[in-house]
Structure 1
Amino acid sequence: MTYCMSDLHGERDRFQQMLERIAFSEEDHLYIIGDVIDRGKEGVELLEQIMEAPNMTLLLGNHEQMCLSTLGPRNELGAREVWRQNGGMGTYRTLLYRRSPRERSRLLRFLSGLPDALDLTVGERKFHLVHGFPGEDRHTRIWGRVEPDSRSPYEDTLCIVGHTPTVFLTGRMGEDLSIWHGEGILNIDCGCGNLQSPHRRLACLRLDDLAEFYVGGTGEPN
């Protein structure tokens, strides 16, 4: 089976619960469309777990890009402050003070090689996976946001995105978040990493049949 998740944001416990819920095995494959790190406590550990898994593929999210912009070879001006404002200081401190230079360099090389979009076919259905929004330029693919009236720009292709918590598309502030269904676009960011919200959930989409799985929310202990 082929699965897709997004925006884990350091919540490794929920990730592990989800792998158990879907009975993830060596014969399955998982695509994670960005934002594994920041906000939650175990983003670096999640990165290391994904790096070592032969049947997991990570796409670049804006939080991985902020990490690269701050700690990568370019060390872009002002990047650390932007990252700090977006919940990156836990990741920053872990990489700087709890990992050796060799381990840190290995993680950064891994991030620098990630794709920012991916096309695949599962069964007879075509998918376009991207963190932010399907677009012609890298900034849009990483930072762009789906809107309530967005539609897939690719004919006969279902776009799977994250980045924008689905509550901003549905307006249902007092409900557990769930996958948002647009016109040829599904948004699977259900608020992981928003540690103050009891309604945040980790979502997982099985691409073979579009079955949805959830961990967290008010129906489960946080």
Structure 2
Amino acid sequence: MHYVLSDIHGNKDAFDTILSMINLQPEDHLYILGDVIDRGKYGIELLQQIRTMQNCTMLLGNHEYMMINALRYPENLHYQQVWRNNRSLDTFDKYFNLTEKEQEEMLCYLESLPVQLEITVNRRKFILVHAAPQELYETENMASYNFNEFIVWYRLTPFLQMPARKNVIFGHTPTEQFHQSMHIFHGKRMIDIDCGCGFPNYGGQLGCIRLEDMTEYYSNDGVFTKEEAAEWLKTHIM
């Protein structure tokens, strides 16, 4: 089975809850679309945990991108300020509690992360990315953006034309901005899975989707089949 989640934002309890729900088996694979760190307290611990998971692939998010820039270029005050303004204090403090060897290993791990992957499940093609797919950068005249920043920072809207015959799964933009709900959003060839885990005080939670049958898992609300999720949204859209 193939599972996808995004934007844990330091919430280890939510991540461990999802892991207990999906009961990941050796033949399964979990994809995490970035933003493991910041806002919550346990970003560094989560990175350490995820690095040890043999059947897990993490992609780069904008918060890891900020972390790399701030730590690789400490003389750059802009990089420091941008990361600090995005609630990185716990991540920063715990990073510097690591040994120098552990710090370097963690940065090298983050620098090795892909920014986009394509997978096929049951003959359906999926693009996995943190914020916006490379194909959109190439076709929508986004040349004014730096490519790496575009792919981890750009905000998608339901009106953008996604790549033909592929389904883009992304995080970065909380789903409530698409349908006023902290549940997974299904649009035309796009699936937003950032259910606001970085904002638990506003009803956010961690969402995860199983690609074989579109079953949805939520750290607060439990498990929904494809049909149950659709029915829930009919009665819970604000």
Task: Give the corresponding residue for 2:25.
Answer: 25
For residue 139 of structure 1, what is the amino acid of its counterpart? E
TM-score, L = length of structure 1: 0.90
Residues 105 and 80 (structure 1), Cα distance of their counterparts in 2 relative to 1, 3 Å cut: same
Q: Is residue 214 of structure 2 the alignment partner of residue 204 of structure 1?
A: no
Instruction: Describe the SS at the equivalent of 1:140.
Output: helix
Instruction: Describe the SS at the equivalent of 2:219.
Output: strand
Q: Report how far residue 201 of structure 1 moved.
A: 1.3
TM-score, L = length of structure 2: 0.85
Q: Distance in 1 between matches of 2:72 and 2:120?
A: 33
For residue 59 of structure 2, what is the amino acid of its counterpart? L
Task: Give the corresponding residue for 1:2.
Answer: 2
Task: Give the corresponding residue for 1:157.
Answer: 166
Instruction: Describe the SS at the equivalent of 1:196.
Output: helix
Instruction: Describe the SS at the equivalent of 1:8.
Output: coil
Task: Give the corresponding residue for 1:182.
Answer: 187
For residue 104 of structure 2, what is the amino acid of its counterpart? S
Q: Report how far residue 119 of structure 1 moved.
A: 0.7
Is the 2:11–2:42 Cα contact (8 Å) retained in structure 1? yes
Is the 1:9–1:192 Cα contact (8 Å) retained in structure 2? yes
For residue 13 of structure 1, what is the amino acid of its counterpart? D
Deviations 1:155-202 (A, max 9, x none): 1110001000011122x3xx5x101111100000000011321x1111
Q: Report how far residue 217 of structure 1 moved.
A: 5.6
Runs of 4+ in structure 1 deviating by more than 6 angstroms, as ranges, are none
Using the aligned pairs only, state the percent identity.
Answer: 41
Q: Report how far residue 74 of structure 1 moved.
A: 7.2
Task: Give the corresponding residue for 2:176.
Answer: 167
- Give the alignment of 1:62-101 within 5 angstroms: 62-72=62-72, 76-96=76-96, 98-101=97-100
Q: Going by fraction, where is helix more abundant, 1 or 2?
A: 2
RMSD of the TM alignment (CA)?
1.6
Instruction: Describe the SS at the equivalent of 2:158.
Output: coil
Is the 2:132–2:153 Cα contact (8 Å) retained in structure 1? yes
Q: Distance in 2 between matches of 1:75 and 1:95?
A: 18
Task: Give the corresponding residue for 1:53.
Answer: 53
Q: Report how far residue 77 of structure 1 moved.
A: 3.7
Q: Which runs of 5+ in 1 are unaligned?
A: none
Is the 1:14–1:202 Cα contact (8 Å) retained in structure 2? yes
Instruction: Describe the SS at the equivalent of 1:13.
Output: helix
Q: Distance in 2 between matches of 1:195 and 1:87?
A: 14
For residue 150 of structure 1, what is the amino acid of its counterpart? L
2:151 to 141, 159, 163: 141
2:219 to 209, 212, 215: 215
Q: Report how far residue 148 of structure 1 moved.
A: 2.8
Q: Distance in 2 between matches of 1:151 and 1:44?
A: 36
Q: Report how far residue 29 of structure 1 moved.
A: 0.5
Q: Which runs of 5+ in 2 are unaligned?
A: 138-146, 223-238
Q: Report how far residue 76 of structure 1 moved.
A: 3.8
Q: Distance in 2 between matches of 1:75 and 1:119?
A: 36
